[in-house]
Amino acid sequence: MAGITIYPDSRSLVEGAAGRIAELASRSVAERGRFTIALSGGATPRPVYARIAEDDLAGRIDWPSVHVFFGDERCVPPDDERSNYRMAGEALLATVALPRDNVHRIHGEDDPAQAALACEQEMQRLFRTSQTPALDLILLGMGGDGHAASLFPGTAALRERERWVVPQYVGALAVWRVTFTAALINAARHIIFLVEGAGKAETLCRVLEGPYEPDVLPAQLIQPVAGELHWLVDAPAAARLRPGRWA
C-alpha cells in the first residue's frame, strides 16, 4: 500500500514536501555520495522548489553532489514559459550552488525522438549502466485526468516496458511531450506525488481506491519495484478518500 500524508492546506503541504526532499537529499549524499532527483512540472511543485531554495533548507543540501533530471518536458525551447526546465530554473536551480553540468534537462526544442534518446543516453553515462537506473527521488504531479509525468490516458507510452524515456504525442492537447516511462519511474528509490486542490479529489479517490484501470488512470501504473511511494496531498484533494483508511 502506498503511504499518504494529508496536510491541512497547501502551505503546510509545501513545507512538508520541501522538508522531506531536503532530508532525502542529505541522506542520499551521506549513504551513496550523491542525490539524483527528477523534477516535476506544473503549478503545484513551484512553491515547493522555491521553499527548498530558501537558506535554511538549501544550506542542508550538498549541491555539488546533486544531479537533476526532469520527469517530462514539453517540446518547447528552454526559455518558453511552458517549459518545465524554465519553471524549475526560476524557482530553484538558478538560486542555489548547483553546478550547471549537474542539470540534465530534456531538450524540448529538438526532435522529440532525438530528445528522448539523448536523455536516456545521458542517464546511461551518469549511472554507468545499461540496466534501468534507480534515481533517488522522482517527483510527480497528478492531472485531473489521472496522468502522471506525460503518461496520458490511452497513449502508447503507457505500454512501454523497455525504454526509459520516450516521445509521446498527446492528442487531447495536440502537443508533443517527452516523458519518463513507468519502467524508469518504478525503479526509483523514492517516488513522491504532490497533489493539491478540491479539483483533484475525485480523481485521487479513483486512483487510490477505485478499480485498477491504468489505461484510463495512468497514475495507477506507478508501483515501485523495490522503492517507496509517497502521496503528499492537501485536505481538499483528500476529501473523497475513505475516512480512517489513510490515517
- Determine, yes or no, domain membership for 246: no
pLDDT, position 130? 86
Indicate the DSSP class of residue 202: H
How many structural domains comprise the chain?
1
Helix, strand, or coil (residue 45) = helix
On the question of pLDDT at 172 being above 90, the answer is: no
Span 200-230, pLDDT tens digits: 999 999 999 999 999 999 999 999 999 999 9
pTM (2 decimals)?
0.97
Percent of the chain residues topping a pLDDT of 90: 95
pLDDT, position 216? 98
Amino acid at 49: Y
- Determine, yes or no, domain membership for 106: yes
- Determine, yes or no, domain membership for 244: no
- Determine, yes or no, domain membership for 149: yes
- Which range marks the domain in which residue 36 is found? 3-232
On the CB side of 87, CA atoms within 13 Å amount to 20
On the question of pLDDT at 246 being above 70, the answer is: no
Instruction: Please tell me the distance from the alpha carbon of residue 29 to that of residue 24, in angstroms, as a whole number.
Output: 9
- Determine, yes or no, domain membership for 33: yes
C-alpha cell at 14: 509545501
What mean pLDDT, rounded, does the chain reach? 96
Instruction: Please tell me the distance from the alpha carbon of residue 63 to that of residue 101, in angstroms, as a whole number.
Output: 12
Span 50-92, pLDDT tens digits: 999 999 999 999 999 999 999 999 999 999 999 999 999 999 9
On the question of pLDDT at 247 being above 60, the answer is: no
pLDDT, position 244? 72
Which residues on adjacent β-strands are paired with residue 36?
A: 67
- Determine, yes or no, domain membership for 80: yes
